A and B are shown apart, each in its own frame.
Chain A
Amino acid sequence: MYAVEMENVNVYIGNRHILKNISLKIPYNSVYVIMGPSGSGKTTILRVINRLIDVNRDARVEGTVKVLGFDALKKDPYELRRYIGMVFQTPNPFPHMTIYDNVAIAAKINGVAKNRKDLDAVVRWALEKAMLWDEVKDRLYDYPHQLSGGQKQRLCLARALAMKPKLLLLDEPTANIDPVNARKLEEAIVSLKDEITVIMVTHYPHQAARVADYVTIVYDGRIVEQGPANQIFLRPTTELAQKLLRGEI
């Protein structure tokens, strides 16, 4: 059984062919890293998994996508998304909600907390997991525009965690974070593995090496190399993968 299984997935936006024959299998409780140059289709893969691709009315998805045992392309997307958290490439905390509410809303919508005490506990747990608690515990009722870019990003991670997802999609979660906090976040991600399957997009080979169980490399909408992390890092077979891992693309 896999958390995510894609078979011959093709995505078209208008008449552009964005993803080409993508097939991949993501085992439960692993950290699965997607790498590839800008514009290669990494974000699009994540958006197929939680059907956020539907928001784009010009997008068309073909093939089979199984997510947590559901036929993801047939299932009600709003229902499917209950099990899937996502952190976006650019942080998008709700601007009209306080830091506390940004996290609490995800728990409330998904029935994670029954009363105020539960809710406080979930919010704290999520903020701690996201390595943000210490920085915001005295200003939970401030608004997100008062946070730094990296803090906003971690707030979004906390929001995703507060829904207690089974699957977590991270789109370059450390892009705006300093190396120290990035390392902390990596540790947090690895520690989530017991309960959550993590799919992460990153541009940093070193980061991938530290957290990944599996790696897939995407180029121009195709998977050019995939497998267990060790194998990919130690013996990349394609020239593209070698270049990418040396940080040359």
Chain B
Amino acid sequence: MYKWRKLKDRIFFAVILILSIIAITPVIHLIVVTLANGLSVIIRAGPSFFTSIPPAPTSKDVGGIAPSLVGSLMLTALALPITIVIALFSSIMVNEFPRNPLSIAVDVVAKSLASIPTIAVSMVVYLLVVVPMGTFSTLAGVVALTIVSLPYAYTYFSTYLRSIPETYREAAYSIAMSRWKTVTRVFLPIIRRGVLVTVLMTMARILGETAALLFTVGRYRIGVSTSILGPTDALPLLIFDYILTPYRNFQEIAWGAAALLLIAYLIIFIATKLAVRGVKL
């Protein structure tokens, strides 16, 4: 009896192991291929990969990705805090006043925004921001990225907030904490890990977003731009454009940028795993 149970245990374990290997093989393959192709480019180009502009199509130079890198950093630095603040406040409002018409509206809007294709967001922002301003801009990109990532961050925050047992609200109220203090001193600390994970995941989402930027930032690659009202570029756009060209040095640049983006993703992923210890309930 005991032996049979042990055998079953082993078989079960073996099946799980094989299935897991099947599941992660494509991911590992993707990581290895991207790093192998990209890192060799970065190494060959040296530090100038990060500081120079892309090469001319047929030149022997490897060139660099500085405009897109700076653009991506700026877009993320602006869009991430805006997204997080709005998403956090609205998820708190909906959690605290679920029957308030405004909360119901926010919830519905957030859920429907999540299902709009990001390329459509890009078109709408093109009409509402780019056309009136007469130019592509970092600002338009930030608006598009915020719209795209808001429902994402909002959904995460709401899920974490809803997971807090009601009994902690009661405990807080019973010692005469106000609603606001209950949120800031009880709820947010309890879900602190979730908040940090959400920030990191949203950051990853913003860094990798491509379609939302298609008609908004303008692919400015002839120099590094730090202007908020002028055009800029982003890593995913650069990859998207250059990998489709017939030029070998463009494709190399794309691989290098992809490797960089992938490394950023891996760092973010590891950070979410290491992120502050969760609260044991």
Contacts and interface: CB of A to CB of B under 8 A. Distances in A.
Interface of A: 50, 52, 55, 57, 77-79, 81-82, 84-86, 88, 90, 92-97, 105-106, 109-110, 143, 145, 156, 159-160, 163
11 contacts: A78-B173, A78-B179, A82-B176, A88-B174, A90-B167, A92-B165, A94-B186, A96-B279, A105-B185, A106-B175, A143-B280
Nearest to B188: A96
B168 interface: yes
A52 B166 CA distance: 11
Best-surrounded residue of A86, A93, A95, A143 (most CB of chain B within 10 A): A95
Contacts of B281: 95, 145
B167 A55 contact: no
A87 to B, nearest CB: 9
A81 B174 contact: yes
A156 B227 CA distance: 56
B171 interface: yes
A143 B185 CA distance: 16
Nearest to A57: B99
B57 interface: no
Contact of A110 (B165, B176, B192, B280): B176
Interface of B: 98-99, 165-179, 181, 185-186, 189-190, 192, 279-281
Nearest to B179: A78
B167 A92 contact: yes
A50 B208 CA distance: 50
B175 A110 contact: yes
A52 B173 contact: yes
- The CB with the most chain B CB atoms within 10 A, among A88, A96, A109, A145, is that of A96
Contacts of A90: 167
A77 B279 CA distance: 29
Contacts of B178: 78
Contacts of B189: 96-97
A55 B174 contact: no
Contact of B175 (A77, A79, A160): A160
A96 B190 contact: yes
Nearest to B170: A52
A94 B168 contact: yes
B99 A109 contact: no
A105 B175 contact: yes
Contacts of A88: 167, 170-171, 174
A43 to B, nearest CB: 11
Nearest to A145: B280
Contacts of A97: 189
A57 B103 CA distance: 15
Contacts of B174: 50, 52, 81, 84-86, 88, 160
B181 A109 contact: yes
A109 B190 contact: no
Contact of B176 (A78, A94, A95, A145): A78
Most buried by B among A77, A81, A82: A81
A95 B170 contact: no
A92 B170 contact: yes
Given A95-B280, A96-B189, A145-B280, A109 B170 contact: no
A105 B177 CA distance: 9
A50 B176 CA distance: 10
B176 A81 contact: yes
Contacts of B192: 96
Contact of B171 (A82, A93, A143, A145): A93
A55 B186 CA distance: 16
The 3 A-B residue pairs whose C-beta atoms are closest, nearest first, are A86-B174, A106-B175, A81-B176
Contacts of A86: 174
Given A55-B166, A57-B99, A95 B175 contact: no
Contacts of A50: 174
Contacts of A156: 171
B171 A92 contact: yes
B118 to A, nearest CB: 36
A110 B181 CA distance: 12
Given A95-B190, A96-B190, A145-B281, A163 B168 contact: no
B194 to A, nearest CB: 12
Contacts of B169: 55
A26 to B, nearest CB: 18
A95 B99 contact: no
Nearest to B98: A57
A84 B174 CA distance: 7
A153 to B, nearest CB: 12
Contacts of A94: 168, 171-172, 186, 190
